[in-house]
Amino acid sequence: MGFSDADLAAIWLTLRLAGVTTALLLLVGTPIAWWLARTRSGWKGPVGAVVALPLVLPPTVIGFYLLVSMGPNGPVGQFTQSLGLGVLPFTFAGLVVASVFYSLPFVVQPLQNAFEAIGERPLEAAATLRASPLDTFFSVVLPLARPGYLTASVLGFAHTVGEFGVVLMIGGNIPGVTRVVSVQIYDHVEALEYAEAHWLAATMLAFSFLVLLALYTLNPTGRRR
Amino acid sequence: MSNLLARFKLDRADFSLDVDLDLPARGVTALFGHSGSGKTTLLRCIAGLERAPGGYLALDGEVWQDANIFLPTHQRPIGYVFQEASLFPHLSARGNLEYGRKRADSRMDRTTLDPIIELLGIGALLDRRPDQLSGGERQRVAIARALAVKPRLLLMDEPLAALDLARKQEILPYLERLHEELEIPVLYVSHAPDEVARLADHIVVMRDGRAVAAGPLTETLARLDLPIHLGEDAGVVLDAVVAERDAQWQLARVVFADNPDAGVWVRDGGHALGHHVRVRILARDISLAVTRNSGTSILNILPGVVAELADDAHPAQALVRVNVGGAALVARLTRRSAHDLGLTPGQIVYAQIKAVALIG
């Protein structure tokens, strides 16, 4: 027994999706988390709540609204069509966009915590040493927030690997394009192929455990002074 | 125009700052006051870490802040030492110094750090991380880091306040060397009279967000109308020169810079003849007599003239300023003694000095 070609395609697709999504999330999440950590604006509450929504909403709700807005008649769909990109649902790109929304809090919140933990003083010290704000961000904030980035990357990646509802709503079930591991397992079970389902499911279980184990043992939280 | 002009007005819910200062841009100027008097806020305004709209700040005629200009902190040619060392924890001591050196206004190569490293005695610490340094060592690295940017003005916010007594004693000699060797002006925030006495040339006394007295240290400390009460720390600081050393009794005679005829015997600190020292004489250590006493253990008895009398904080006590040659001493007496002796300005008295501290 082992993995079929379809299984391997699903695994490869899942890793690709999670990798691209995590990379995008770190890029998008950094300014959001920085703003949330530093702002005194009244918008901090509402923005923080919106970012956290995927934590509590059923994935089908997020998937549904993304589907509607990215569809041919939705605002995002109109926009992508005007750019000549077509519509995003049932494509890999659509899956990436949906995953970014779905995993956003898992990246933003660790980053925000890391930024807040740095505090004001290192930034002030850097300013008195002639570092501009941008210079300070790269030379002081990023190195000090490294544990936060590790946590954010691992959580963002693992959470994307584990999504199912959003994928089904946005991506459907197209082999090699949108059929990720979780969907593949679902298919196996539907077809009563329990052995195949076991292989994939056990792999997922082991992967998730190892990722979290690495996170908890490698991350030096609390050891810094 | 070698001066620092600073005018700031800040109104916060629990605190207000209102100062208009013209400070000499040389030597060490102490911003002295009790906690909450606004000295740190003033320092932060000068550094640009705090925004005081409508303020004015210029060093040597170069404007850093006025109605139209606000130079951000990273564009001001300052060095800043925080109360806690605030070293970057992800960099070694050397990395912290290099961080400043690389960003200094004038390009400097690595060797320019050598005299700074030497001055603060941190050569052996450079490869350690901040969490492997003691509190005193961290603060020395922090001072070196502030100097590594080649500042034109060094701002120090109670650099010793977070340290215990032993660490303070460890750092003070380095600060004194800084005082002697540094060519740039230093603003030194402190609430500790002993630090100010050892390090400062000028003093600004702060209270409730206002500068209530300012001037050269020796003159200002000899004022009897200082608006804050120093309590047991009331006393004068005098610049002096070692004039004589007595090997038999291990004593040295230091004469006051303003009047070489007047001087006091102190414990020989090993300084060479002609060496400049500072002595601090507390008001509580001086008693006054109208005739010269003999048969006393007191070594230093100086004839002088009563210049001024004033009430002290406690109604039982009075402060008396006595001119001894060109130098002024302040003595604390009970008002009853002052009355019994019939002290009046112009009267000749003998200042009996029980203790003299040789500092720096």
**Nearest of B228, B206, B233, B204 to residue B330 by alpha carbon:** B233
Q: Residue A1 — pLDDT band, cuts 50, 70, 90?
A: low
- Same domain? For B152 and B260 the reply is no
pLDDT of residue B1: 56
- Same domain? For B23 and B165 the reply is yes
CATH of segment(s) A5-218: 1.10.3720.10
Q: Which residue of B47, B104, B105 is in closest CB contact with A128?
A: B47
Average pLDDT rounded to a whole number, residues B10-32: 91
- Same domain? For B241 and B301 the reply is yes
Predicted confidence (pLDDT) at residue A222 exceeds the cutoff of 70: no
- Same domain? For B39 and B152 the reply is yes
Domain region containing B302: 235-359
The CATH number given to whatever domain includes residue B310 is 2.40.50.100
Q: Which helix (H) or strand (E) holds B205?
A: strand B202-207
- Chain B hits for A224, Cβ within 8 Å: 89, 131
> Which of A130, A144, A223 best tests the B interface by mutation, with the highest count of B CBs <10 A?
A130
Q: What is the largest CA-CA distance in chain A?
A: 67
- Same domain? For B255 and B162 the reply is no
Contact B356, B263 (CB under 8 A): no
Residue located via tokens 């904030």: A141
Average pLDDT rounded to a whole number, residues A25-37: 96
The full set of domain ranges for chain A reads 5-218
Q: What percent helix, strand, coil does chain A show, rounded to 5?
A: 75, 0, 25
- Same domain? For B105 and B159 the reply is yes
User: How close, in Å, is residue B214 to chain A by CA atoms?
Assistant: 27
Contact B342, B309 (CB under 8 A): no
Contact A206, A212 (CB under 8 A): no
- Same domain? For B13 and B67 the reply is yes
Contact B164, B176 (CB under 8 A): no
- Which residue, B230, B245, B271, sits at the end of a domain? B230
- Which residue, B230, B260, B283, sits at the end of a domain? B230
- Same domain? For B151 and B257 the reply is no
Average pLDDT rounded to a whole number, residues B199-209: 93
- Same domain? For B190 and B291 the reply is no
| Residue A95 burial class via C-beta count within 10 angstroms: exposed 0-12, middle 13-18, buried 19 and up | buried
B-facing residues of A in 113-132 (CB < 8 A) are 121-122, 124-132
Given an 8 Å threshold on Cβ–Cβ distance, is B103 in contact with A121?
Answer: no
Contact B155, B40 (CB under 8 A): no
**Tens of pLDDT, residues B253-275:** 999 876 777 889 999 888 889 88
- Which residue, B230, B260, B287, sits at the end of a domain? B230
CA–CA gap between residue B90 and residue B129 (Å, rounded): 8
**Nearest of A146, A112, A150, A153 to residue A22 by alpha carbon:** A153
- Same domain? For B161 and B36 the reply is yes
pTM score, two decimals? 0.87
**Tens of pLDDT, residues B26-74:** 899 999 998 889 999 999 999 999 999 989 999 999 999 999 999 999 9
| Residue A107 burial class via C-beta count within 10 angstroms: exposed 0-12, middle 13-18, buried 19 and up | buried
User: How close, in Å, is residue A150 to chain B by CA atoms?
Assistant: 16
> What sign results for the dihedral spanned by CA atoms B262, B267, B273, B275?
negative
pLDDT of residue A128: 97
- Same domain? For B204 and B335 the reply is no
User: How close, in Å, is residue A21 to chain B by CA atoms?
Assistant: 29
Q: How many domains does chain B have?
A: 2
ipTM above 0.90, yes or no: no
CA–CA gap between residue B57 and residue B282 (Å, rounded): 36
- Same domain? For B109 and B200 the reply is yes
Contact A88, A77 (CB under 8 A): yes
